Amino acid sequence: MTYKIAVIPGDGIGPEVIREGVKVLEKAAEVTPGLDFEFVYYPFGADHYLETGQLLPERALEELSEFDAIYLGALGDPRVPPGVLEQGILLKLRFYFEQYVNLRPVKLYPGVPCPLAGKGPEHVNFYVVRENTEDFYVGVGARAKGKKKVKHEIRRSIYRAKFGVDIDVDKDEIAYQIGVVSRKGAERVIRYAFELARRKHKRRVTSVDKANVLSHVYSLWREIFEEVAKDYPDIETEFAFVDAITMWFVKNPEWYQVVVTPNMFGDIITDLGAMIQGGLGLAPGGNINPEGVSMFEPIHGSAPKHAGKNVANPIATILAGQMMLEHLGEQKAADLVERAVIEVLREGKVKTYDLGGKSSTSEMGDAIAAKVKELGKNG
């Protein structure tokens, strides 16, 4: 089977880590009978935007629809105002392809130090399933100032509740962002979390919210979680407020198996999860549409200050490729890549600066690719 993969290296360290990810995927294909890739590269990112004024044109989205998956490096550049690239490329891809699941494995590998005292690989091994297209990321919001007639009903209700109908033109200004949770959006991602728990032989699903304060939007999330849970009587369930779960991630990470969360809270707690597993350089992520085109990427940013130095850790990107293999149904190759990463980390001969070593990006990629070849030959 030949898979057609769209590669968007992006900005900063993106091209460097993607290079190593592709290297490992090609080696996995070399030792896995019947597996092959066709990689097609796209230039979208800061340089392309500054040269052409284009972020992600409609024709490119239509073309990307024909691919089996998208492999993304990183987005973000100090020459471009914050949010332009992220909203115009990353979020546009997620929304266009309805990648409603952001899947984040939080797994501590052997040989990687954990910042939590007394915790090892046996304590940190769970998944965070983050809703990826709703909540505070739907883009409903604005800033308003001045004594004027407000036509928009949302603005009118905010003014009335917070300030009265009239706003002092000289003193009062408000900004608001609306969080939206739909029954359809919540149900499908919560169900995905339960199915993942079954597939990965996990016995507990934890739902995250803030229903005690943001009661309108997250009471619906809770209701839907309870409804879906009835279809999975074999799986234990619980609720956790987002502030509490950050505490318990640190104190007892071994408790968690599958965590499902609305978009905003998932954005926050997955970065904490990355630190628990040893750092952003080890944290992959998948933006998944189970019935459509999915996209896989490291969760770290573009790290412009490290760009071009060949020092960034490519493991998060390599593991994002491993997630892509699993999503495509190539479980044997996916397991092979993960085993290779584990062996290289356990041996500790090749370590990038974030792991306390001096190895380069390419040296780490070479070591993992060589290990894939070695393990593949040995079965």
Contact (Cβ atoms closer than 8 angstroms) between residue 287 and residue 94: yes
Of 75, 77, 100, 103, give the one whose Cα is nearest residue 89: 75
CB atoms within 10 A of CB 82: 10
Q: How far is C-alpha 250 from the geometric centre of its chain's CA atoms? A: 20
Six-digit token pair at 191?
């169900």
267: three-class secondary structure by DSSP: helix
Angle value at C-alpha 336, between 331 and 337, nearest 5 degrees: 100
| Cα gap 310→313, rounded to integer Å | 9
The residues carrying an active-site annotation are 137, 210, 243, 267, 271
285 φψ region: left (φ > 0), alpha (ψ -120 to 50), beta (else)? beta
- Residue linked to tokens 């020092």: 311
Position 90, amino acid? L
CA dist 237 and 165 (Å) reads 44
SS3 for 350?
coil
Helix (H) or strand (E) holding 326: helix 315-327
Round to whole Å and give the CA distance between 210 and 193: 19
d(CA 323, CA 309): 27
CA torsion sign for 107, 110, 114, 119 is positive
Q: How far apart are CA 56 and CA 45, in angstroms?
A: 9
Q: Are 28 and 325 in contact (CB under 8 A)?
A: yes
What is the C-alpha separation between 9 and 19, in angstroms, rounded?
8
